[in-house]
Structure 1
């Protein structure tokens, strides 16, 4: 029984919900959490958790939940995770703080992908679930919104000093999200009449003094012109000190940063760059595409005309070739678990190697001495072996590795020099990729 991980597949936008409230410590946990579970089970339309996890993982049930809560207690706090084994992915956390500090309940929910909530009825179920919780538990503030867009708001501290934030919390409307619950204290500080007259799709005063506010029928159109206009109007209504044009411009800039961009990558590097794009956080993806659309790899300069090739200067050619093969096998030994194609030593495996080193941020996450002494020789030898096997190349051995050459057509290539340039930085992994050198050598063979 394995939970479907939020980060096991391509990063996508999620629905992100947070809810902070107090609870009655004198009441039994089962009794105190009963309304919470009742609303969850009634309204979690299609995304109900099926795993409860404390220190052990169990199939979701009320009994399993109580056991997980008991196991999850660590001193004055308790953690519980709720997950799903099938799509959509769910990452749900309950965190309880116990006396002597004031008892608190924090709920965090992420459901992936956000597009799962494209139907108004499913969003309405979510709103009704939150409404039930907000009616039952003394909540200070709650929100639900796109994870990608939330990243641009500075949430959860909104640019405040952390100490000030922990002292004051959501003491004013820093941001208006798709779904908002404003606690009584915040409502009174703004003015109840003002809050209740906010121009939004749904504004409801709850029996305990909280106000539930929803901007639009669905969360998925948060970046549309209409949604941004509604968001700006609501925010400025609640915060008259803000300038409407500035707020709207900021929201539209956020929409532009998330708007889909068509990749226009060099064909030879498209397989690598597409994987690089998929590897970045989803809220950064479109900006990364723009960046890579404008980028072009520098032409490799790790070559010289065949007519000026240095002659072999080793005593035993066969032993030198065996040494290069052994060095290449060092790379296979290093990467074979995470890059199985490295066994093949093909042009495609070069792309897999490029992506692995980029994903791992290898040039900056490993000791420079180890990179120079072990990684660079192994990478250079592996690149050279691929040139030999697939382009009909021929090693021209030299005593100094950086002088070793592979003759392909009318050029000799310097794979160890390329490897050193390649390992200078994370950006160098793209500027001096193994894939790009191979494709240029292929054109000139």
Structure 2
């Protein structure tokens, strides 16, 4: 049973929900959680889960859910993951914390993409679902909003150190999101009358003393100036110690950070940079695009005019070429599972290799002595073999690897020197990419 993952799809914003409520631990799970699932099934408009995961994956259903919860139970908690097999993708994680911990129902929900909720009726159904949950399970705090925008707020600690965060929790209104449920403690801290008079699209006192607050009819409009004004008015009302202008300026800055930026990458390295951008968290994507638009890779320095090439100083040209081939095969052996195209020794495989090493933070995540002893020689030899195979290059062997050259047109290139520069840091994987050197070498070939 193949299910969609919110992590596997392309980087884009999603709807994100966090909910913390209290449940009765002395009651059987089935009866205590029934209201949760009833509300989910009634209001999950187009994004209902069809897969339940415990220790194994099962088709969604009550029997599967109770079985999964039992499988995952440990001494103080149990949880399951609910997903979908069709668009939109879903991650729904209900977790029960059991005595001796304070009994809590924690819910984390993500539906991707956020654009799925552009219809007001879908947003209304989501609000009604959260209202039903919050009326049944007394909450301390619950929110639903754009996942990207939440990431920019620092939720849930909002910049506090862990000790302060664990001690104080949601002791004041640090942010107002699109949908909010404030528990009785926070309502009393703010003042119930002030809370209920908040200028917002919907403000409702729930039977258990919680207050539901929704700033705007649809969550997909969160970054519009009208929605930001509504968000700022509500936040400044609930926190009279804050300046409305300051709150609004911060919200507008977040909108600007998330505003789409058109990629204008250096063409030779655009395929590599596009993959780096696609791997970047979606809330950082636009900033990364702007950064790469302004960035130019430094011109390769690992070359000399062909007229100044070092002459071979090895005893046997044939054995030297075999040695370079064996070194290149070491890279193929290292990467063939993660980068299947490495077998091809093409310009495209260089880009795949570049991206793999960047994604793995290879210069930081591996031992430096192993990088210098094994990775650098393998990468240099592989780069040299690609130059020979695809650009008609010719090895000029030397006893020292750093002096070995590949003649392409009127230049000789030093692939092992390039590999050493390349592996010096994670940023160097982009500055000294194998892709970039190859493209420059190709341009200078007659």
Q: Deviations over 1:371-391 (max 9, x none)?
A: 111111111111111111111
Q: Given the alignment of the two structures, is residue 353 of structure 1 paired with residue 353 of structure 2, yes or no?
A: yes
C-alpha displacement of 1:292: 0.8
Q: What's 2:214 paired with? A: 214
Q: What's 1:179 paired with? A: 179
Taking the aligned partners of 2:41 and 2:80, their CA distance within structure 1 comes to 17
TM-score (normalised: structure 2): 0.98
SS of aligned partner of 2:5: coil
1:28-107 → structure 2 map (5 Å cutoff): 28-107=28-107
Q: What's 2:271 paired with? A: 271
Q: What's 2:239 paired with? A: 239
1:18-417 → structure 2 map (5 Å cutoff): 18-417=18-417
SS of aligned partner of 1:426: coil
C-alpha displacement of 1:360: 0.8
C-alpha displacement of 1:164: 3.2
Taking the aligned partners of 1:406 and 1:72, their CA distance within structure 2 comes to 58
C-alpha displacement of 1:28: 1.4
Is there any run of 5+ residues in structure 2 with no aligned partner, and where?
Answer: none
Taking the aligned partners of 1:232 and 1:122, their CA distance within structure 2 comes to 24
Q: Deviations over 1:235-267 (max 9, x none)?
A: 000000001111111111111111111111111
TM-score (normalised: structure 1): 0.98
Q: Deviations over 1:88-143 (max 9, x none)?
A: 11111111112233211111111111111111111111011001111111111100
Q: What's 2:439 paired with? A: 439
Taking the aligned partners of 1:269 and 1:127, their CA distance within structure 2 comes to 45
Cα RMSD (Å) of the superposition? 1.1
Taking the aligned partners of 2:235 and 2:43, their CA distance within structure 1 comes to 28
Q: Deviations over 1:306-332 (max 9, x none)?
A: 111010111111111111111111111
SS of aligned partner of 1:204: strand
SS of aligned partner of 1:200: coil
Taking the aligned partners of 1:164 and 1:370, their CA distance within structure 2 comes to 41
Report the more deviating stretch, 6-15 or 294-303: 6-15
SS of aligned partner of 2:399: coil
C-alpha displacement of 1:270: 0.8
C-alpha displacement of 1:10: 2.1
